[in-house]
Structure 1
Amino acid sequence: MKKWFNWIDDGIATFALSAIILLTGTNVFSRYVLNKPLPWVEEIAIGLFVWLVYIGISSAMKRDSHVGVDYFVNKLPRPLRMISIIVRAAAIYYVLFYIFIYLGLDFTLQASSKVTPILGLSYQMINIAVPIAGVFTAIYFTQSLIRSLRLEFKEEGGS
């Protein structure tokens, strides 16, 4: 089950990137060789790009691939380092739970009557990527936080 869950965001991001490349390449060929551009391709590519970006956030969190400058934090005495970890976690949880999940859901629900101009797809299908990515990222960040706290306690000599 865990292996399947860990694959979901990578699978979505891989599909989105592959589809963007394929659709854009097809549209370039259609526009410049056949002189018949496919107007709907841009709508699909933009929607897939939104999914790629937001789901990519969770995929990067899973691998601890987000950029971080922890040189100074690692030089702090242990009590201050622990406070730093807690403050960082609180800030990240705020962003994930309030901005990504809560506001992302609100943003998605507000898009109920908004549709793309050519295909008439609901923007809810695009916007739902934000709260979904927030949930995945929160899960992966929690796993990462637990690992880093275990490491801190192990350095102290605890169990």
Structure 2
Amino acid sequence: MTGTRPKSGPREDVGEGVVDRVLGALAALCLVAIVLMLFGNACLRLLADMPLPWVQEVVTGLLLWLTMFGFVLGVRRHESIAVHTFVTKLPVRVRIGVRIATELVTAAVLLHLAWFSLQYVVDFGGDSTPYLRLPRGFFTSALPVGAAAGALAVLVRLPSVRAVVLRERGEPAV
């Protein structure tokens, strides 16, 4: 994709804007927490030679959530990597079909990832982290949640594929 977000109606923009802002805020919160913990731990190591051993497990877990928040936000904003060279040379009807097929395959792959990562969380999510004794599922649940949310975002935009393709070509959607 070119990274430009297709425009939608005013009602959709309000709802999408709220979801995007919430995802962005959660990602920013994770990033700020990670930076502050790492900086604080580095200062403790340097100044007092007493780093906190649990910081690594919290940072690793928050990094999973940060990645999934960013992933879902990227999927919602249509900012995934795509190669248009071949597809742009196809007739409009074929382009629409290719785009729909691509979206369906993307959703299927994400649902597959969600299923297997859910199985991982079920099998190993009850294990405790070494220092804080938190269940690992607290952090690893980011994988099935993010994959399922990404699949949902793809499926929700599926009805607008035709209009998006026509808009990309500069043609009015009829």
Indicate the TM-score class for this superposition, using the shorter chain for normalisation. 0.7 to 0.9
**Which structure is higher in helix share?**
1
Q: 2:150 aligns with which of 111, 117, 137?
A: 137
Cross-structure match for 2:8: none
The CA deviation at 1:146 is 3.2
The change in CA–CA distance for 1:64 and 1:153 in structure 2 (over 3 A counts) is: closer
Q: Is the 8 A contact 1:12 1:55 kept in 2?
A: yes
> Is 1:64–1:144's contact at 8 Å kept on the other side of the alignment?
no
Percent identity between the aligned chains?
Answer: 25
Residue 84 (str. 1) matches residue 98 (str. 2): yes
Aligned-pair Cα RMSD in Å: 2.2
Structure 1 residue ranges without an equivalent (≥5): none
Q: Supply the distance in 2 between the matched residues of 1:125 and 1:92 (Cα, whole angstroms).
A: 26
Question: How far apart, in 2, do the equivalents of 1:85 and 1:4 lie?
Answer: 26
| Conserved? CA contact 1:108–1:124, under 8 Å | yes
Query: What amino acid is aligned across from residue 134 of structure 1 in structure 2?
Result: A
TM-score, normalization by structure 1: 0.86
Q: Could you tell me which residue of structure 2 aligns to residue 44 of structure 1?
A: 58
Do the aligned partners of residues 34 and 158 (structure 1) sit closer, same or farther apart at CA in structure 2, a change above 3 Å counting? Answer: closer
Structure 2 residue matching 1:113: 3-state secondary structure: coil
What per-residue deviation string (whole Å, max 9, x for no partner) do you get for residues 64-86 of structure 1?
A: 22221112111112233233213
Moved more, 40-49 or 139-148: 139-148
State the distance in 2 between where 1:130 and 1:7 align: 21
Mapped partners of 2:172, 2:38: distance in 1: 55
Residue 84 (structure 2) aligns with:
70
Query: Relative to structure 2, which stretch is displaced further, 120-129 or 135-144?
Result: 135-144
**How many residue pairs were aligned?**
158
- Any stretches of 5+ residues in structure 2 without a counterpart? 1-13
Q: Aligned partners of 2:22, 2:138: CA distance in 1, in Å? A: 17
> Out of 48, 55, 63, which is 2:69 matched to?
55
- How far off is 1:21 after superposition? 0.5
Q: Given that residues 27 and 69 in structure 2 are in contact (C-alpha distance below 8 angstroms), is that contact kept between their aligned partners in structure 1?
A: yes
